[in-house]
Amino acid sequence: MQNLDNHAKLLAALRWQVEAGADEAVQDTPYQLAEGHLRGGAPPRAVEPRDAVERLKGRVESQSVPQPTPAPKVLPQAVPDFSACASLEELREAVAGFDLDLKATATQMVFADGDPASKIMFIGEAPGGDEDRQGRPFVGVSGKLFNKMLASIGLMREHIYITNTILWRPPGNRTPTEEEVAVFLPILRRHIALVAPEILVCLGGAAAKALLATDMGILKLRGRWHDYDMGGTMLPLLPTLHPAYLLRMPEQKTLAWRDFCLIAQKMREKSI
C-alpha cells in the first residue's frame, strides 16, 4: 500500500515536471527510481538520459494528464487602441481588459513596479511563477539578483521603473512566442512613451530585439548603446544580460557588470 502511495507521489512529481516544461534529464546518470527499486526489487539501473525523458513522457501521457498549453496561433480577438491611452492608469486598464489567450493560464497581470517618474526604465521578458503570484515584476530569484545588480551602481528598486515585454506569465514559464511579443509591442511602446524615461535598459533579448526590430542575439547587442525612437525622440537603449541567464551562467556576470558601469556613466552624463 505504501509502495503504491510512493508510486502515485512520484508520478505526480514527474507529471508536475513535464507540465512545467522539463524535457531533459540533468544528471549524468539517471536512474529509474520509480520502478523495481522502490517496490523492494533490484537496485536502480542507469538509463540513457533521452530514454528516461521519453519514458517519463510516455507514462505521463498514457495517464491522460493535461499537456502544457500550446502557444496560441492567433492571439487577441480585438486589439484596443493602446496609443489612445493618456495615462499609465488608462493603459493598465486597457491591457487588463484585453482579450488574450495568455490570461487563461496566468493568475493575474503583472504590469510594472517602481517609480513611474523615474528617468530610467528597465524591461524584462515575461513574469515567472513568483511574479504571477505576487503581481509584480522581478520578485523571484531573478529579481533578487536584479536588486543586487542595481545596488552595485547605487540604485534601489524605488529609484527605477520596471516592466516586462509580456504582461502575463506564459504557461510553464515558456519563452514568449514571436506572435506574443508582436502583440505586446504596441503596449510596450505606449508604456515607454507614458513613462518618458531618459534611459532604457533591456534585460535579455526579448525586449531589445522587439524595440530595435532586430534578430541579433543579446550577446551581440549588449555592451553598447542603441537608439530607440520614442515617437521622434531618440532614447539611449542598453541591452544587457537577463538575471535569469546570469543565474545559469555566473561566469557572464563580468559582462553584466560592464553594462551596469555604462548605465552609471550615462546617468552621470544626464545628471540623473
**Nearer residue to ligand URA within complex by CB, 37 or 174:** 174
Only one of the segments 58-66, 130-138, 150-158, 194-202 lies at the binding site for ligand URA (rule: CB under 6 A); that segment is 130-138
Judged by CB under 6 A, does residue 163 bind ligand URA? no
Does residue 199 contact residue 235 with C-beta atoms inside 8 Å?
A: yes
Copy the grid coordinates of residue 25.
534529464
Does residue 147 contact residue 113 with C-beta atoms inside 8 Å?
A: no
Q: Which of 101, 131, 180, 259 binds ligand URA (CB under 6 A)?
A: 131
Only one of the segments 60-68, 131-139, 150-158, 251-259 lies at the binding site for ligand URA (rule: CB under 6 A); that segment is 131-139
Does residue 237 contact residue 202 with C-beta atoms inside 8 Å?
A: yes
Site of grid cell 546570469: 246
Return the bridge partners of 238, or none.
Answer: 201
Q: Which of 111, 122, 138, 260 binds ligand URA (CB under 6 A)?
A: 138
Judged by CB under 6 A, does residue 170 bind ligand URA? no
Only one of the segments 51-59, 125-133, 212-220, 223-231 lies at the binding site for ligand URA (rule: CB under 6 A); that segment is 125-133
DSSP assigned state of 174? P
One-letter amino acid of 175: T
One-letter amino acid of 50: R
Site residues (vs ligand URA, CB under 6 A):
124-128, 131, 137-138, 140, 142, 164, 244
